Each structure stands twice: as C-alpha cells, then as structure tokens.
Amino acid sequence: MKKILISSIILLFTLAVSAQNTVKGFVFEDANGNGKKEKNEKGIANVAVSNGVAVVLSDNKGQYELPLKNDAIISIIKPSDYKVQTDENNKPQFFYIHKPSGSPKMKFEGVQPTGKLPKSVDFGLIPQKEEEDFTALIFGDPQPYNLEEIDYFYRGIVAEVEGINNVSFGLSMGDLVGNDLSLFNPYIQAVKKVGIPWYNLLGNHDLNFDATRDDLADETYEAHFGPANYAFNYGKVHFIVMDDVLYPDPRDSKGYWGGFTPEQLQFIENDLQFVPKNNLIVLAFHIPISEPDTNDDSFRDSDRNQLFSLLKDFPNTLSLSAHTHLQRQDFLGKEQGWLQDKPHHHYNVGTTSGDWYSGKLDEKGIPIAVMRDGTPKGYAFIHFKGTTYNVAYKAAGKEKEHQMNLFLPKVVAQGKSTKSSLYANFFMGSENDQLVYRVDNGEWKNMERVIEADPSYVELVYEWDLSEKLMPGRRSSDPSISTHVWKGKIPANLELGTHKVEVKATDMFGNTHTATESYRIDSIK
C-alpha cells in the first residue's frame, strides 16, 4: 500500500512537471483590440511562434504548442499585413515572459516573478495593410551614461524626428545605455516621443555585468524590452534581431566576445524554414560580423560561418550592426566564408551618440560628437521596395542633402605646385562608389579613394590641443582611419581670386550627391 501511495505521488508530480513542460495558446485576430481572445475572435493559421529556440506554426484554428523551460520567453513572429499592440511607450507587445521565480538577484533589477503559467498564452494580431514600399528608422548606440546625456540624445536626435510620418517602425542597434541600466526607463521615455513602434536590441553596454553566465546577462534588458532574440515580418522583408554579445567571454571569462550560442543559431535555422527563399532577410545585431583588420578577433569566426551556411539559399540579404562608433560598408565574399557569388552587404551604422557625446558644443549646448572617421552623429533611413533596399544617412542638425564633408586649403599660391589636396568624406561611401570633382564648372575628374584619417576630423580634434583657452565640452577621441575618404589634386595655375570646387558622389544604390566649397588663388608679393 505504501509503495502504491509513493508511486501515485511520483506519478502526480511527474504529470505536474510535464504540464509545465509545454506552453499552449492561440494566435487570433484581435477584432476589438483589447489583447484578449474572445469567443467570437477567430484564430489565424500558419503564424510562427517561438520559445527562443524552437519555432512552430499555428494550426488551422490558430493554436500552437511549444516546449517550455522555467526561464523562457514565448514570442510571436509577426506576419506581414498584421500588427501587434504597442504599449504606452510604443514598444511592440509580441511576447510573454515565463519566469515563475523571477530573475536572480543582481545589481540591476530583472524580471519580477511571473507565477503560474496561464492555461493559454494567446497572441492577438490586428490586420493592417503593409505596402511593400516602406521605410525603417535606425538608431545606432544612443549610449547615454547619465541623465545629461539622455537630454543630449533627446534634444539632438529624437526631437529632430519627433512625430515623423511615413516611417513604419524604428530600431535601436544596442548600447541603449552606457552600463547604468537604471537609464533604460529614461531612454524609453525619450525614444517613445518619435511616435512610431520601436524595436530594440541588446549591446555590450546593456548587460548585467555581475552575471556569471551568458544566459543571465540580459535579465534587466528582458524586464524592459522582452526577448533579446526575435523576428518579425513587414512586407516582403523578414527581420531577425539577435543578441550577439557573448558574456562572459567564453575564452577567459573576462569581458565579452562577438558571437552566437548554439541555441541562437538553432533559432535562426528554425525560423528561416518558414520564410520564403526570395524574401529579403535583414539581420540586426550589435557587434559587426565583419572584421576589417586581419588582426581583428572581435567576432567568433565559426559562428559567422554557421550563420552564412544558414543563409546560403537566400539570395537577398542585408545585415546591420553598430558598436564601433564609425560608419562603414563591407561586402563579404567567399574569402570571408560567404557561400554565394553575390557578396553579402554588411552595414555598420553610424551612431546617435557620435563620438560618445564629445566635441565642441553647438548653439543648443549639445556636443557635436563627430565620429572618429569624420562621420557626423546621426541616424539612417532604410527604404525598402519589395526585396530591394536603399539606405540614406541623416547627419543630425543638417539638411538631408548633407552627405559629405569637403576639406581643402583656403588659399594657395598662383602657379606654384602644392602638396595640399582636396578631400571628400562621403559618409555612406564604400569601395564600390565613384567620386568625381571639377573646378569652376570645368572637366570632371576622378577622385582617388584613400584609406586614411579624414583631415577635417583631425582639425576638429587638434583644435582642442592648440587652443590657449579651455573649451566647453570634452575633447574628441583621436582620429581613426576612415573607409570613405576620397582625394583629388588642387590646381594652382588659375587666375587670382576665388574658385569653386564641386564634388559629385554616386553611391551603390545609384543615388547622386553633391557638395561644393571654394578656395582662393593668391600671389606672393
């Protein structure tokens, strides 16, 4: 009898545990927009739902079932022509957090205990017409370290796009804050004023640094933003947003390393099985997968190779990163492990914090924060059309036409050869672009792409060192090599007086941009 009783208890315990090993629910059309499934609201079939690793499709009644751990986030992969509810802060509500006991105790608070799993975890979708021609707004590294820098971020960036129209959603590319995770809420309050649905991803300055395992390093991020790995569709574009910060670094348990865990790569594989092969796949993560320097080991090679293997049957791809506080375009081919003939475009987006809120103060008292490669702080618009895209960078505080800086001498001696040159820093430039210049509406001449520091940025930096008075603000970082600088010769055999220089850049998308400047020819008396 005693053995029977014990066996019954074990059976009941096993059944109770197994009941918590799965999560069930419905994907439904939320007709009244209240986020709750009513009896008359129909289910939606063939919608992908994930537990962070496995991905399943809802059946013809809209029902799904997934394996469940006691620390998991269930998320819906929004299909095209539907939207999810956003909260009062414009954050899309596409997930349910399951942490019955909450997050472990850390310096910064994580998820509060969520308690018993509901019988049904349901996801409501609201039909919307999604044009295949749409625009996304991209912010790189807001990264405020204090409330003053939150104010710089709001007044210098957010206020410029507040209430923007004809943009479908926004995405911040990690380093939402600078190590102080109590700034997540002020950041959220700032960015919500853009007034559009806003997605986020995790950067290396958004971590719980007291975590001893990688899977615990995003607890505070999850409490504020939900899953660090997720996907959604818009038009014919499939977006995959990933945490690519391994912390602690698996090599020595110090610092961090760029890469993915096996579970993350499994999630990408499981997700892609339900995506049409001809759709455009856009991957977004914080640390670049490209390594411009042969000595650069910022991203684990094996993970990049596995990612490329998963993408080998998708001809239309783009990946986005931030992190470097530089802007560059990389085209990864077979030498970098890409498995298609057409190279993969990786865009390392310029940052909204620029050079970490450094530099001289503008007329509003906001640091100009030009980046070390000469790119002004700013943000990007990605214009999608079907499975193609076009990227436009917007320098904060400038007209949208401001796409390059010119640097040239102010005066040269008539008839004497000069070692001075014309430099053009084309912010969105790449190795595939062509720049030409002319003087006084003369013949167009090709400019030479050079890999060196932008002299206009060098001038900004050393102004601090040469000033005999203290300057307000904070000295900018030392110059870095820029990948988007071109050089041309300055003619001195012209008439005395002022001469106009015009530069024309044609980018990888066929767009033409121009900039003008002038210099003077004088004689030595």
User: Could you tell me the CA-to-CA distances from 392 to 137, 201, 509 in Å, in that order?
Assistant: 10, 21, 10
- 7 or 467, higher pLDDT: 467
Q: Mean pLDDT throughout 404-429?
A: 94
Is the preceding omega at residue 248 within 30 degrees of 0, hence cis? yes
Whether residue 19 contacts residue 68, with contact meaning beta carbons closer than 8 Å, is answered with no
Mean pLDDT of 347-357: 98
* Residue 67 pLDDT: 97
Most confident of 15-19, 33-37, 517-521: 517-521
pLDDT of residue 157 exceeding 80, the answer is: yes
Amino acid 511: pLDDT = 94
Say if residue 8's pLDDT is above 90: no
* Residue 30 DSSP SS3: coil
HSE-CB of 303 using CA atoms within 13 angstroms: 24
- Residue 257 confidence class, pLDDT cut points 50, 70, 90: very high
Q: If you average pLDDT over residues 298-303, what whole number do you get?
A: 96
Note the pLDDT of residue 20: 59
CA atoms of 506 and 451, how far apart (whole Å): 19
pLDDT at 12: 39
CA distances (Å), origin 295, targets 161, 287, 292, 319, 349: 39, 16, 9, 22, 22
DSSP lists the bridge partners of residue 411 as 520
CA distance 175 to 142: 6
Is 54's pLDDT higher than 80?
Answer: yes
Residue 231 CA to residue 273 CA, distance in Å, equals: 13
Which pLDDT does position 418 carry in this prediction?
87
**Tens of pLDDT along 322-346?**
999 999 999 999 999 999 999 999 9
Percent of the chain residues topping a pLDDT of 70? 95
Strand partners, 486: 424, 449
Per DSSP bridges, beta strands 448-452 and 482-489 are antiparallel
Residue 19 has pLDDT above 90, yes or no: no
Confidence of residue 13 (pLDDT cuts 50, 70, 90): very low
DSSP 3-state assignment of 335?
helix
Q: What is the mean pLDDT of residues 473-486?
A: 96
Rounded to whole angstroms, the Cα distance separating 282 from 146 reads 32
508: tokens are 């990888």
Residue 292 reports pLDDT greater than 80: no
- Angle in degrees, CA 159, 193, 144, rounded to 5: 70
For range 173-180, the mean pLDDT: 98
**Statement: residue 7 has pLDDT above 90:** no
pLDDT of residue 42: 96
pLDDT band at 128 (very low <50, low <70, confident <90, very high): very high
Burial group, residue 40, by CB count within 10 angstroms (0-12, 13-18, 19+):
exposed
CB atoms closer than 10 angstroms to residue 128: 10
Q: What number of residues does the chain have?
A: 525
Residue 296: the pLDDT is 75
Q: Which domains does the chain have, with CATH numbers?
A: 2-111 (2.60.40), 135-395 (3.60.21.10), 404-522 (2.60.40.10)
Summarize the confidence of residues 1-9 as an average pLDDT. 44
Give just the sign of the alpha carbon dihedral 331, 335, 337, 338.
positive
The DSSP symbol for 199 reads E
Q: How far from 288 is each of 298, 326, 344, CA to CA, in Å? A: 8, 11, 13
Average pLDDT, the chain: 94
Q: What is the pLDDT of residues 268-287, one digit of tens each?
A: 999 999 999 999 999 999 99
Q: 293 pLDDT band (50/70/90 cuts)?
A: low
Give the C-alpha distances (Å, rounded to integers) separating 56 from 25, 264, 277. Answer: 12, 16, 18
